[in-house]
Chain A
Amino acid sequence: METLITLIQIAIGAALINNFVLHYFVGICPFLGVSRRIDTAFGMGCAVTFVISIAATLSWVFTYFILRPGAPLPAWIWQMAGGDASTQVNLSVLSYIVYIFVIAASVQFVEMYVRKFFPALYKSFGVFLPLITTNCAILFACLEIMKHLQDPMRLWALPEALTLAVGGGVGFTLAIVLMAGIREELDACDVPKPLRGPGIALIVAGILAMAFMGFAGVDRGIQSTLNAFLH
């Protein structure tokens, strides 16, 4: 039960309270670029969620078994080479290059898959699907997971990492769909000429971010409610 509460906390934290776009300001490029129509925005959100889940799973595997300090694989090889068991082999310098590699590869994979099976979605993404490769939201999720794999006493298992990734992806989808809804309505509004286009989009994004600040502290309330409910 404790695990479930932790997972719910992680999910809500990633989706609402510490929303990737509106709290950390990562993934702004597709957030502003593909938020003109709700259906395209929703497709983009789903693609990011999908890629983020794959990338997070792969990077958790690599980090847990190879990259983190005290990972099993390097330790085993170290001892096979006749090393001292008390010294740790630390490969965390490789984390960035491995994450970028994994993200780029999974985006390539998703692009080919979508192109084959969902041509309409592929068309509506246009140039933005390859741009997910350099989407900082995904690298951010990987680095966030790496942060929780540093301390050997409190290691994140795969479910936690995956929850963070899916929660972050859902939060991204929520933010971009909200933004697209507002921008669709904005087309019918009399926006002052100098603010049209990117100007008003950034202002709207800022107001949206302020609105999301209202979620701060919700996780503590949810935790106490769940605890009271369970015990």
Chain B
Amino acid sequence: MLTTVTMLLAAGVLGLLAVIVAYVLGWANYTFHVKVDPKIVAITDALPGANCGGCGYVGCGEYAEAVAAGRAELNLCAPGGSGCAEKLAQIMGVEVGQSLPYRAVVHCAARRDQRLGQTVYLGEPTCVAANLVGGVQGCTYGCLGLGDCVAACPYDAIHIVDGLSTVDYDKCVGCKNCARVCPRNIITMVPFKAERMLVVACSNKDFGPEVKEVCEVGCIGCKACSKNAELMSIENNLPIIDYDAYESEEQFAKAREKCPRESMILVGKPSPKDLAAVAGEKLPDRVEADFKTTVDDTEWRG
């Protein structure tokens, strides 16, 4: 008798509570209704709703708002993958494949022995410190080669080779960390329309004679390139490439031929010709990391 009444009471209490709460919440939902952009609702529905924060926003809701406002890329959701990105692209009415990969480019080509007017620098071994001191090398625009960008790169994609920061385009993902830390702002992000891109490998804004005093390879601003290629112009004694109209490196073949200093270089994947040139040489094999602990191979003698 007591058990039956208790059970019935328990069921009755919970049932009654559910009805009351449902009514109150339903009323509140109707009364406190806020109009939201239907796009945000659709995007929120298309996202996995894991609230993992992998996209860099606090939750799926905030990411959905950012996407709807055009502030965020469509492909940031790692759990949703490419299917999710496609759905978002459909909702936003854009094509997902439109975005070009941006990669870091160092606008300096002078290796250690090509820089003139160098002095011995014994200070803090960072570019920021050396940049403050001045007089470390003749060129006040070029790479200092002390590796602030190397320390900033989370992907091990930039290294100092012969005193010059060199990007490894197999590893670079275009996170901009190196461009952000470079005190001389010589690293910029270039849209890679092809596997290899033509870039201007100098940042010196001085006139020709002054450049020749401090560097063996730097651009002297002679305008030979801008006269021979439509997509190039000279500003502050430096050539500028119009990457919006850039289609292939062939457009610049004549300009490169005329350049007296070889200031324009190709960066990115090596060409077939370059690969053929080193085909005969024996290159060291790539060493893969071996994730083993010291006890993995130890024989157990318990």
A interface vs B, CB < 8 Å?
A: 62, 66, 74, 77-78, 81, 83, 87, 89-91, 93-94, 97-98, 101-102, 105, 108-109, 112-113, 115-117, 119, 126-127
Which chain A positions have C-beta within 8 A of B10?
91, 93-94
* Secondary structure of the A contact surface, majority rule: helix
User: Does the CB pair A112–B17 fall under 8 Å?
Assistant: no
- Which chain B residues in 53-109 approach chain A with CB under 8 Å? 58-59, 61-62
Most chain A CB within 10 A, of B6, B18, B29, is at B6
Which of chain B's residues has its CB closest to A77's CB? B9
Q: Is B25 an interface residue (CB 8 A)?
A: yes
Which chain A positions have C-beta within 8 A of B14?
94, 97-98, 101
Which of chain B's residues has its CB closest to A97's CB? B14
B interface vs A, CB < 8 Å?
A: 1-2, 5-6, 9-10, 13-14, 17-18, 21, 24-25, 28-29, 32-34, 51, 58-59, 61-62
User: Does the CB pair A127–B61 fall under 8 Å?
Assistant: yes
Give B87 Cβ to nearest chain A Cβ, in Å: 22
User: Does the CB pair A74–B34 fall under 8 Å?
Assistant: no
Which chain B positions have C-beta within 8 A of A113?
28, 32
Which of chain B's residues has its CB closest to A112's CB? B32
User: Does the CB pair B59–A89 fall under 8 Å?
Assistant: no
Which chain B positions have C-beta within 8 A of A66?
13
Which chain B positions have C-beta within 8 A of A109?
24-25, 28
User: Does the CB pair B58–A127 fall under 8 Å?
Assistant: yes
Give B51 Cβ to nearest chain A Cβ, in Å: 6
Which chain B positions have C-beta within 8 A of A62?
17
CA distance A97 to B1 in the complex (A): 24
User: Does the CB pair B62–A126 fall under 8 Å?
Assistant: yes
Q: Contacts A126-B58, A127-B51 hold; do A116 and B34 have CB atoms under 8 A apart?
A: yes
